[in-house]
Amino acid sequence: MKMNVSSDNTKEFLFNTLRVIGLFSPEDKSISDTEADLLARFMSLPDTHRFYPFSYKARKLVSESYTPKMTKQNLSLKVNSLISKGYLYRDEDNFIDYTPTIKKLLNTKEFNVTLLNRAAD
């Protein structure tokens, strides 16, 4: 089975890619649709937020992108959940950033997955 994730919309592409990654993650690391959506919104912010993707300004932009606006508390809970699942991390200065694997997706334009069943029938 081959799966190709593509879209002309960056946020949609990232959301779908994160969902596929979540399917192959252990259950305790699996990303929910709401978490994938939130992470995709952060990842699709303008490049001015590239070095501090979870700054106050970035959080405000993401919060306001929801209808109705997402509360600071709810956003913080979801970000903390993404940290505990290994999609984000806190660095030595207590700044939140993407893990290296997730950061690679920022420059990804295409995501292909091939599943092979090599079991003998």
| pLDDT at position 116 | 63
> Rounded to two decimals, what is the model's pTM?
0.83
In a domain, 120, yes or no: no
In a domain, 119, yes or no: no
Provide the residue range defining the domain that includes 92: 2-114
In a domain, 75, yes or no: yes
Is the backbone peptide bond immediately before 68 cis, with ω within 30 degrees of 0? yes
- For the chain, the residue count is 121
| pLDDT at position 1 | 47
Domain count, the chain: 1
In a domain, 121, yes or no: no
Helix ranges, the chain (H): 10-23, 33-43, 56-64, 72-84, 100-105
Q: What is the mean pLDDT of each run of 10 residues along the chain (121 residues)?
A: 58 88 86 94 91 93 94 95 95 92 83 66 56
Query: DSSP character for 93?
Result: T
In a domain, 71, yes or no: yes
